[in-house]
């Protein structure tokens, strides 16, 4: 049997953590392995527990979620961070994406949206709706360092990988790409891996930003 997704909850509000725990632990494929109430504790707990996914609040007393995200991603690249935010234009949340988070989760998300987002980042997808993806690009695109821009990143891609790259740039999940391109999800996953490797992209979100900078999105 597949091991459950191990989740660390980080939020300074006890009631929010309780609510998230109830939702996640009702899922057969998820297990909440720990909680933290601020960024410093989140880093410590992540190092101790090595979770698969961290649900990370941004605005917390002391060390905030941006700094905690950066530290966790740097030390544990296999751990995915899913940012918790109260609204999708939160610049703090965008800062966490720059720090290496794998997506957004609105605090008022429906139950199925939360569980789907956790599963998405765990399997390597980015938990970003097309609407949020566009706002992310508008916010981050002009601020990317010049080192992110060089020769055409798509030049080394095959025609099919180019199709997948464009689909990633639109914020589509592997399942959505598979349906659109009439491929199996396992084939799409292979293509996505090759695209990220050839682009030298940290993750799907980095690939989205590169596509935007090169006018491919």
What pTM value is reported for the model?
0.73
Output phi, psi for 97, to 5 deg. -60, -45
Specify whether the CB–CB gap between 70 and 79 falls below 8 A. no
Q: Please choose, from the candidates 13, 8, 9, 7, the residue with its C-alpha nearest in 3D space to the C-alpha of residue 61.
A: 13
Can you spell out the DSSP letters for 132-176? HHHHHHHHHGGGS-GGG--S-GGGGS-HHHHHHHHHHHTT--HHH
pLDDT tens for residues 12-58? 999 999 999 999 999 999 999 999 999 999 999 999 999 999 999 98
Helices (H), the chain: 14-25, 39-49, 65-75, 91-98, 111-122, 130-140, 159-169, 174-181, 185-199, 204-213
Q: Which residues lie below 8 Å from residue 122, measured CB to CB, with a gap of 6+?
A: 5, 52, 53, 80
Along the 217 residues of the chain, how does pLDDT read in single tens digits? 578 999 999 999 999 999 999 999 999 999 999 999 999 999 999 999 999 999 999 888 889 898 999 999 999 988 999 988 776 556 776 777 778 888 888 777 888 888 988 998 888 777 765 556 666 666 655 554 444 445 566 678 899 999 999 888 877 888 889 999 999 989 998 999 899 888 887 777 778 777 777 666 5
Classify 76 in phi/psi space as left (phi over 0), alpha (psi -120 to 50) or beta: beta
């Amino acid at each position: 049997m597949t091991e459950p997704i191990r989740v660390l909850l980080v939020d300074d509000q006890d009631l929010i953590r309780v609510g998230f725990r109830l939702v996640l632990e009702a899922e057969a494929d998820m297990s909440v392995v720990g909680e933290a109430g601020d960024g410093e504790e989140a880093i410590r707990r992540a190092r101790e527990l090595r979770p698969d996914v961290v649900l990370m609040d941004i605005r917390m007393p002391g060390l905030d979620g941006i700094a905690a995200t950066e530290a966790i991603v740097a030390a544990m690249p296999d751990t995915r961070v899913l940012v918790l935010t109260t609204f999708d234009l939160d610049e703090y949340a965008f800062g966490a994406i720059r720090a290496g988070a794998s997506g957004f989760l609105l605090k008022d998300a429906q139950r199925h949206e939360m569980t789907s987002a956790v599963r998405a980042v765990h399997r390597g997808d980015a938990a970003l709706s097309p609407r949020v993806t566009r706002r992310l690009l508008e916010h981050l695109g002009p601020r990317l360092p010049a080192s992110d821009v060089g020769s055409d990143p798509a030049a080394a891609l095959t025609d099919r990988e180019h199709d997948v790259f464009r689909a990633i740039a639109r914020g589509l999940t592997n399942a959505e790409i598979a349906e659109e391109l009439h491929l199996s999800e396992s084939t799409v996953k292979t293509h996505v891996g090759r695209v990220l490797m050839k682009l030298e992209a940290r993750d799907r979100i980095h690939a989205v930003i590169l596509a935007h900078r090169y006018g491919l999105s």
